[in-house]
């Protein structure tokens, strides 16, 4: 049966999660590989997800007072080198442009891996007085990091993202903005993507190159691995001092600005796939799906069936993102495709349904079917989509909570990661030495020191000395 082929072509999650992921991104037609090693084509179904992410997130940014700009994609080598920690973090993984046209350049340019140095160079001339502050700018662009191992969406040499870069008169205001944007990311993940996240601070070992503090949202994938889903950095006045970004304050003295940056990338599409997907393919939260409702005609060659399908589409299109699959494939094949692509609901309508004045709605996540009259279709769909969005978040939250463990000592810690996969909450003394030991022994990293601290034990899970912080640990993408 042709219907079965599409689903059979993907590996089951339980058999091989990594292969399942690779199969889904290909079969749901999200990406394709290219002749450029480590770079991918984002195909229409994949790019439509990114477009919706951009649209929703950009609306939230604008409500938070963010303005969009665009800065060059090239960074002169001398500019990249101005902040010591930053260049150490990024120089080993940038792509270098050495020739323009037929001539060798006098100074190498790197393709931006991130744009702190460019924003600093710009702000240096753009900011003069306290009246020019705050600056709350963002850009949507692509960045390049010369990674050795790559995976679609999760790690590629070029990826799409947004990077916000702000400048403030005080450290307090910078800190406030850092947390504000982290909260925007967390709200976006939970409300729009139905992905629950842990908000917290990175340890010094894991923070961004050049940052004073890095905040993160961490999500748990279906296989129990963590994915850093968005970060927000407070730079203090470190970059401002390196780049000499000063302003005349109200008291007429020259002061350095305080800066932040924050970013979310196409990586988050990997999270959507790995949090919600199943053995039939992708499952998209209704809020982010570019097609929310696929109307699938049954026996579409019979008189009146396609007409009814189009009439339903026209009735619904003011309230939903809706399409009719009127291709010449079989209904079974169309069902498989709708499922593979993660379209939240399908509406099945055939001659019998039309005669009875009814049709069937089928939810992608639970496969639950609801019969409804044509009159009640719009209202029922609204309810079904709202239920699905809410249930997806709840299911993901339950999965995360049932895969979050606690360890009081090293023995427990090792045992959990031997047998299970998930987050482990454990106490930490604050020394990088313990982080290094844990990483070496368990192959896990500190994901964050969550804002919501708990008391698991009095002592560090590694060294047994007095504990300072409760930390989420995990294996990460």
Spell out, one character per residue from 68 to 107, where the chain touches a copy of itself: x when CB under 8 A holds, - when not. Answer: xxxxxxxxx--x------------xxxxxxxxxxx-----
Nearer to a copy of itself by Cβ, of 33 and 451: the residue is 33
Rounded to 5 degrees, what angle do the CA atoms 328, 365, 473 make?
Answer: 130
CA 195, CA 465: separation in Å to the nearest integer?
Answer: 35
Q: Which of 118, 295, 377, 434 binds a copy of itself (CB under 8 A)?
A: 118
Sequence-ordered list of residues with C-beta below 8 angstroms from that of 112, at least 6 positions apart, any chain: 72, 73, 74, 75, 118, 141, 143, 144
Task: State the helix-helix crossing angle for 377-402 and 305-316, rounded to 10 degrees.
Answer: 70
CA 243, CA 50: separation in Å to the nearest integer?
Answer: 34
36 lies in the site for a copy of itself, by CB under 8 A = yes
121 lies in the site for a copy of itself, by CB under 8 A = yes
Q: Which of 6, 28, 42, 87 binds a copy of itself (CB under 8 A)?
A: 42
172 lies in the site for a copy of itself, by CB under 8 A = no
61 lies in the site for a copy of itself, by CB under 8 A = no
Nearer to a copy of itself by Cβ, of 85 and 190: the residue is 85
209 lies in the site for a copy of itself, by CB under 8 A = no
CA 323, CA 224: separation in Å to the nearest integer?
Answer: 35
The secondary element (H helix, E strand) that includes residue 48 is helix 44-63
CA 218, CA 451: separation in Å to the nearest integer?
Answer: 12
Nearer to a copy of itself by Cβ, of 328 and 440: the residue is 328
Q: What is the DSSP letter of 16?
A: -
Nearer to a copy of itself by Cβ, of 35 and 443: the residue is 35
142 lies in the site for a copy of itself, by CB under 8 A = yes
Nearer to a copy of itself by Cβ, of 121 and 163: the residue is 121
Sequence-ordered list of residues with C-beta below 8 angstroms from that of 440, at least 6 positions apart, any chain: none
Nearer to a copy of itself by Cβ, of 159 and 473: the residue is 159
Nearer to a copy of itself by Cβ, of 12 and 78: the residue is 78
Sequence-ordered list of residues with C-beta below 8 angstroms from that of 42, at least 6 positions apart, any chain: 30, 31, 50, 160, 266
Sequence-ordered list of residues with C-beta below 8 angstroms from that of 210, at least 6 positions apart, any chain: 83, 85, 86, 89, 116, 235, 238, 239
Nearer to a copy of itself by Cβ, of 69 and 386: the residue is 69
Q: Which two tokens stand for residue 423?
A: 């987050």
Least distance between a copy of itself and beta carbon 148 (Å):
9
163 lies in the site for a copy of itself, by CB under 8 A = no
32 lies in the site for a copy of itself, by CB under 8 A = yes
Q: Which of 13, 57, 87, 109 binds a copy of itself (CB under 8 A)?
A: 109
50 lies in the site for a copy of itself, by CB under 8 A = yes
Q: Are 120 and 245 in contact (CB under 8 A)?
A: yes
Least distance between a copy of itself and beta carbon 226 (Å):
26
Least distance between a copy of itself and beta carbon 111 (Å):
7
Residue whose pair of structure tokens reads 């991130």 in the numeric block = 114
47 lies in the site for a copy of itself, by CB under 8 A = yes
Q: Are 177 and 260 in contact (CB under 8 A)?
A: yes
Least distance between a copy of itself and beta carbon 54 (Å):
10
Could you tell me which stretch among 122-130, 313-321, 419-427, 450-458 binds a copy of itself (CB under 8 A)? 122-130
Task: State the helix-helix crossing angle for 410-419 and 432-442, rounded to 10 degrees.
Answer: 40
CA 330, CA 336: separation in Å to the nearest integer?
Answer: 10
Nearer to a copy of itself by Cβ, of 146 and 374: the residue is 146
Least distance between a copy of itself and beta carbon 243 (Å):
11
The alpha carbon dihedral of 22, 23, 25, 29 has a sign of: positive
Q: Which two tokens stand for residue 264?
A: 């979310």
144 lies in the site for a copy of itself, by CB under 8 A = yes
> Could you please report the per-residue DSSP string of 423-464?
EEEEEE-S-HHHHHHHHHHH--EEEEEESS-----SB-TTT-
Q: Are 50 and 266 in contact (CB under 8 A)?
A: yes
β-strands 404-406, 423-428 pairing: parallel
Could you tell me which stretch among 6-14, 155-163, 297-305, 423-431 binds a copy of itself (CB under 8 A)? 155-163
Q: Which of 12, 34, 398, 453 binds a copy of itself (CB under 8 A)?
A: 34
User: Binding residues for a copy of itself, how many (CB under 8 A)?
Assistant: 51
2 lies in the site for a copy of itself, by CB under 8 A = no
6 lies in the site for a copy of itself, by CB under 8 A = no
Q: Which of 111, 182, 189, 268 binds a copy of itself (CB under 8 A)?
A: 111
β-strands 135-144, 67-68 pairing: parallel
Least distance between a copy of itself and beta carbon 423 (Å):
32
44 lies in the site for a copy of itself, by CB under 8 A = yes
243 lies in the site for a copy of itself, by CB under 8 A = no
Binding site for a copy of itself (CB under 8 A): 32, 34-36, 39-44, 47-48, 50-51, 67-76, 79, 92-102, 109, 111, 118, 121-122, 125-126, 137, 141-142, 144, 146, 157-158, 160
């Amino acid at each position: 049966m042709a219907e079965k082929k599409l689903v059979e072509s993907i590996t089951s999650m339980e058999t091989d999660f990594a292969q399942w992921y690779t199969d889904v991104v290909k079969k749901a037609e999200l990406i394709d590989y290219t002749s450029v090693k480590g770079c991918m084509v984002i195909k229409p179904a994949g790019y439509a997800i990114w477009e919706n992410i951009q649209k929703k997130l950009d609306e939230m940014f604008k409500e938070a007072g963010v303005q969009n700009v665009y800065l060059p994609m090239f960074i002169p080598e001398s500019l990249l080198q101005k902040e010591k920690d930053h260049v150490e973090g990024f120089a080993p993984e940038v792509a270098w442009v050495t020739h323009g046209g037929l001539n060798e350049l006098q100074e190498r340019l790197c393709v931006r891996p991130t744009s702190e140095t460019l924003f600093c160079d710009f702000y240096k001339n753009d900011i003069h007085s306290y009246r020019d502050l705050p600056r709350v700018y963002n850009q949507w662009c692509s960045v390049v990091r010369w990674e050795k191992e790559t995976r679609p969406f999760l790690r590629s040499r070029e990826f799409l993202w947004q990077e916000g870069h702000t400048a403030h008169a005080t450290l307090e205001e910078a800190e406030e903005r850092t947390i504000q944007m982290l909260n925007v990311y967390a709200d976006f993940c939970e409300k729009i993507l139905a992905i629950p996240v842990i908000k917290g601070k990175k340890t010094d070992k894991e923070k961004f190159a050049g940052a004073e503090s890095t905040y993160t949202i961490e999500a748990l994938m279906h296989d129990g691995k963590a994915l850093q889903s968005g970060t927000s950095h407070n730079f203090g006045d470190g970059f401002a001092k390196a780049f000499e970004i000063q302003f005349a304050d109200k008291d007429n003295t020259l002061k350095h600005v305080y800066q932040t940056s924050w970013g979310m990338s196409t990586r988050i599409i990997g999270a959507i796939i790995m949090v919600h997907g199943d053995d039939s393919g992708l499952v998209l939260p209704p809020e982010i799906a570019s097609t929310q409702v696929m109307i699938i005609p049954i026996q579409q060659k019979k008189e009146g069936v396609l007409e009814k399908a189009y009439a339903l589409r026209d009735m619904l299109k003011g309230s939903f993102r809706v399409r009719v699959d009127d291709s010449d494939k079989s209904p079974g094949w169309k069902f498989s495709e709708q499922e593979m692509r993660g379209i939240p609901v399908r509406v099945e309508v055939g001659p019998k349904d039309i005669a009875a004045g009814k049709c069937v709605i089928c939810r992608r996540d639970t496969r639950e079917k609801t019969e409804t009259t044509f009159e009640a279709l719009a209202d029922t769909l609204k309810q079904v989509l709202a239920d699905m969005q809410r249930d997806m978040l709840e299911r993901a939250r339950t999965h995360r909570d049932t895969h979050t463990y606690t360890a009081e000592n090293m023995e427990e810690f090792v045992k959990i990661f031997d047998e299970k996969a998930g987050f482990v909450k454990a106490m930490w003394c604050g020394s990088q030495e313990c982080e290094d030991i844990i990483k070496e022994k368990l192959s896990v990293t500190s994901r964050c020191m969550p804002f919501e601290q708990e008391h698991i034990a009095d002592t560090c899970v590694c060294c047994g000395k007095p504990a300072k912080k409760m930390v989420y640990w995990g294996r990460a993408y």
